[in-house]
């Protein structure tokens, strides 16, 4: 049963991920953003299958919620027209695709050649309780540093969005 769900969510994640990047019907950034939201949602399904319940919730809240709203907000703000059909440089596009294909093959080869992980039964559960306990004991310092980073990002964004920079 879980295996079927894995294949379902994996296929849907990859399909909507592909539609973010290479949508044959639309060049509109809004379409890409919407498919990115779908990708995040399906990926949180994969997280649930991996028993990472807390992260699945955070994925929906932070990514599908906050980050994508920010994206859509900026798209509306910029009032972007659908990308007019510019001439695609065939050479550079081909070269880019070849490079990505090479990297893809290389990573797949590395995964294939790696010793299969034989760790027995997977037992961990990524519940809020377990993750919170880890976060406030052994990872307390990085946690605090990340909070400072968020503050710095906030100040930076406010400064950047000012009309006239001094």
Partner 1 sequence: MIMEVSLNHYLFVSTTLFALGLLGVLLRRNLLVIYMGLELMLNAANLALVAFSRFNNSLDGQVMVFFIITVAAAEVAVGLALIVALYRKRQSAHTEDLTHLKF
* Interacting positions 17-46 with partner 1 (CB under 8 A): 17-18, 20-22, 27, 29, 32-33, 36, 39-40, 43, 46
Q: Which of residues 115-134 bind partner 1 (CB under 8 A)?
A: 116-117, 119-120, 122-124, 126, 130-131, 134
Residues 6+ apart with CB under 8 A from 130: 124
Cα angle for residues 129, 132, 137 (degrees, 5° grid): 125
Task: Please state, in angstroms and rounded to a whole number, the distance separating the CA atoms of residues 55 and 135.
Answer: 13
Q: Please report how close the Cβ of residue 166 comes to partner 1 at its closest, in angstroms.
A: 14
Binding to partner 1 (CB under 8 A): which residues in 52-111?
52, 54-55, 58-59, 62-63, 66-67, 70-71, 74-75, 77-78, 80, 83, 86, 93, 96-97, 99-101, 103-104, 107-108, 111
Taking residues 129 to 158 in sequence order and writing x for each that binds partner 1 by CB under 8 A, - otherwise, the string is -xx--xx---x--x---x--xx-xxx-xx-
Q: How many residues does the chain have?
A: 166
CA distance 78 to 73: 9
CA pair distance 54, 45, nearest whole angstrom:
12
């Amino acid at each position: 049963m879980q295996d079927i769900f894995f294949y379902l969510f994996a296929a849907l994640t990859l399909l909507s991920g592909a539609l973010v990047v290479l949508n044959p019907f639309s060049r509109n950034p809004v379409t890409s953003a919407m498919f990115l939201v779908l990708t995040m949602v399906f990926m949180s399904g994969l997280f649930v299958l991996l028993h990472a319940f807390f992260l699945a919730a955070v994925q929906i809240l932070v990514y599908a919620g906050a980050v994508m709203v920010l994206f859509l907000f900026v798209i509306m703000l910029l009032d972007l027209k659908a990308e007019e059909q510019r001439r695609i440089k065939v050479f550079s596009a081909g070269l880019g695709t070849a490079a990505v294909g090479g990297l893809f093959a290389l990573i797949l080869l590395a995964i294939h050649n790696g010793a299969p992980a034989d760790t027995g039964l997977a037992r961990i559960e990524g519940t809020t309780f377990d993750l919170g306990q880890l976060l406030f004991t052994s990872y307390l310092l990085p946690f605090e540093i990340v909070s400072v980073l968020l503050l710095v990002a906030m100040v930076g964004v406010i400064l950047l969005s000012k009309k006239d920079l001094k």
